[in-house]
Structure 1
């Protein structure tokens, strides 16, 4: 029995009126397989939706059938008949008889997945054609408010959305599916060293307090100048990249076992300066000596050896100045698509630009757009984003100069959109500027305070959506721009003698 023809599928000679790619026979075969054996639906529903069918009637049949199957009911020409009694489009091609013919001409369940993939691929091609048409139309009709860069970034985002179809913008998700992901995360944390649910930042006390760097989190790292926020960010970025391990799965995908590929947007320092800091930290040679060439032959050889070890590090640096939030998003998407991505660092937030429209409305509105954009990007890419931020000068006017949430510049949007807010505070920095005259009793008290504070830094967790707030003490070696775990007295081995 031959199937009725829904429409002509031969493309006209005129290129401008070509019919978008479609395969009505594959759609009919798959629907027939599902109606004759409902188990066929299990093979395709994970990736195929009604919107992927080129024929609207087929989309409605697929949606009705899969809905019945999810409810534990039988989907067959008989049970679907009542759903389509008033469907004029189906009546035009045979009504209930068309449903019966679909089942009668069904492909075997073995071929269901193959037909489903073919339907999905053609749907993606139609979306690409639509996207290309939009680009052509927007390019032919210039809009004063829309620049070429806006069109490129919008197009790249749409392309990324197609490439990451199952990761972002997929609408509502059943609680059961979310629950399974939560259990998988708990299982991974249980099996991982340190029992972390997120990516280790390389500092055990911070990891313990935060559970690692969590996917889709926007983490604000804020401090006054010279506190070491760039140093801490580069230390974390290096550790995450160094710990990167992955393995290929049977389906050809890559599963990350530890660490991650890192994108570091350095809007303040050049990539050369950033690399010098990382080499200094790893080689134990002051970065100032490296820059001025004040190193011995042995130290130079150590630098060469260290640099060879770091060559393969999956750490990608971008020092382009004046980037917009849209450009950061576009470049991060591109890196994830090409290399994978586990962490994004932005140094620093106040150097990013928003859209021209928001900039015209004022800096507060522009920063709001930036923080909202960074949080959205963290969710879209499913990676943590660490954004560094300056603090307002009001910190300097207080006796206790430990930062607070109110000290964040344009604090409303930054505090609201961040999942975690971290502050860096080094008491020795402020004590150095208060040194009394040598030989006075005040100097002796000052020296005792300096001895206690020297080489120590506090990381204050001012906000954390899914964990406690509090203070973490770290060791800071300024000449190597290096943060490390603080060796506390209660953790030191027992002394003898």
Structure 2
């Protein structure tokens, strides 16, 4: 009679074949330790054996049947003795070459069990009425599932020898000499791209500034420039909705300094005073944007785990279409909802967030560009150009970032000055459309300042001709 009870996902035969391979060729353990852990084994005795083998390998001792028998002692193995069980392992062993494939099967079965446990726990909690806050419980589930998801997509971050890594660098140098290398996702400003080599894979790039300096303007410009280069881009907008961002993007793409009417994003939002010629420019701008691999995630209050889940979904979508994820933009760090681990301790919350964003960049093999506010102390200085120490709430932003870029518009402060001298009026006229972009930190390059043309009302950035 069928009971309806099924065994949890497992790869017991692969476990035995893997352990047998290690008994035959102890060097096999070095090829699988970065893939599988003792807790991944379904049969408890197999986990014991694997853990003992790892410990002996670390101690420099030999792994053989006699040694493993001594480690296991008189453990209960059911209907077979320790000796008989080890004999079976030897008979069912795979080869050292196939050991990594069997290790991956063991790991995937373990991840399937954890996924099943999470789903079962959720079903039980819903059925018994234990959940009173669906949103909170769903957020916790997303964090649990995120840990599972991240374990399966970071193969490129596994351990590698320094020689192999150096060989990869030489190969990239040779391709660069031949002009076949794509560096990082471009900023779309030649001087900034030259100084940074773009936003490179695995990097956490911080774009910082006080309100009114043009962080969102720059973020949209960088996103469009990267998408135009072929990079898949996802813009996580925790502040504005997609409509507001699209108004800015349309204004930038439809920008024409020779046109009689200026299409600011405010004019686009109002719509009534757009001329026929202006509407034609907007339609053409929409066609340009429609061809770009750029998507906007507009849900507010996301945690890092929720952001990661949405980015992975987009990454898979791009890969199915033959593209790749080249840039993740987050606007902005201060609006990311922290986990409950450090509730009320803003410094620790931000430390956890920036550390997680850096980890996400490494896992994805793509840069993460995160916008960040600066402290109000900037306003109390005569020279209001930002410094690293102005980053808000935590030194972790500076510590975890590979690149920190700060924005400064002198015109903003001059415009908001109550009384201006003739000299200040002259300065305002000269710097009206200037934006200073300063690299405050760069692990692998110089710190420098780039001045570019910026029409904030039209969300337009451009290199200044020298």
Same fold by TM-score, threshold 0.5 exceeded? Answer: yes
Report the counterpart of residue 252 of structure 2 in structure 1: 281
Q: CA deviation at 1:97?
A: 4.8
CA distance in 2, matches of 1:355, 1:21: 31
What SS does the corresponding residue of 1:316 show, helix, strand or coil? Answer: strand
Q: TM-score, normalised by structure 2?
A: 0.78
Report the counterpart of residue 114 of structure 2 in structure 1: 127
Report the counterpart of residue 368 of structure 2 in structure 1: 385
When the two chains are superposed, the root-mean-square deviation of aligned CA atoms in Å is 4.2
Q: Given the alignment of the two structures, is residue 297 of structure 1 paired with residue 268 of structure 2, yes or no?
A: no
Q: Given the alignment of the two structures, is residue 453 of structure 1 paired with residue 431 of structure 2, yes or no?
A: yes
Report the counterpart of residue 268 of structure 1 in structure 2: 239
Shift in CA distance, 186/471, structure 1 to aligned 2, threshold 3 Å: farther
Contact 2:53 2:68 in 1 (8 A): no
Shift in CA distance, 365/51, structure 1 to aligned 2, threshold 3 Å: closer
Report the counterpart of residue 259 of structure 2 in structure 1: none
CA distance in 2, matches of 1:404, 1:416: 14
Between Structure 1 and Structure 2, whose CA radius of gyration is higher? 1
Q: CA deviation at 1:47?
A: 4.3
Q: CA deviation at 1:264?
A: 1.3
User: 56, 62, 68: which is aligned to 2:44?
Assistant: 56
Work out the number of aligned pairs and report it. 449
Shift in CA distance, 475/18, structure 1 to aligned 2, threshold 3 Å: same
CA distance in 1, matches of 2:385, 2:334: 21
Contact 1:405 1:411 in 2 (8 A): no
Q: Deviations over 1:416-458 (max 9, x none)?
A: 4433322111223334456978xxxx63x44653454343221
CA distance in 1, matches of 2:43, 2:348: 45
User: 187, 201, 204: which is aligned to 2:190?
Assistant: 204
Q: Given the alignment of the two structures, is residue 401 of structure 1 paired with residue 409 of structure 2, yes or no?
A: no
Q: CA deviation at 1:229?
A: 1.1
User: 306, 316, 335: which is aligned to 1:351?
Assistant: 335
Q: Given the alignment of the two structures, is residue 155 of structure 1 paired with residue 141 of structure 2, yes or no?
A: yes
Shift in CA distance, 466/167, structure 1 to aligned 2, threshold 3 Å: farther
Structure 2 unaligned blocks of 5 or more: 257-262, 320-324
Structure 1 unaligned blocks of 5 or more: 1-11, 245-258, 489-497
Q: TM-score, normalised by structure 1?
A: 0.73
Q: Given the alignment of the two structures, is residue 485 of structure 1 paired with residue 463 of structure 2, yes or no?
A: yes
Report the counterpart of residue 310 of structure 2 in structure 1: 331
Shift in CA distance, 415/24, structure 1 to aligned 2, threshold 3 Å: closer
State which drifts further: 188-197 or 414-423: 188-197
Matches within 5 A, 1:204-283: 204-244=190-230, 259=231, 261-283=232-254
CA distance in 2, matches of 1:62, 1:55: 11
Q: Deviations over 1:83-109 (max 9, x none)?
A: 333423578534445434443455678
What SS does the corresponding residue of 1:383 show, helix, strand or coil? Answer: coil
Report the counterpart of residue 81 of structure 1 in structure 2: 66
Report which structure shows greater RCO (CA 8 Å, sep ≥6). 2
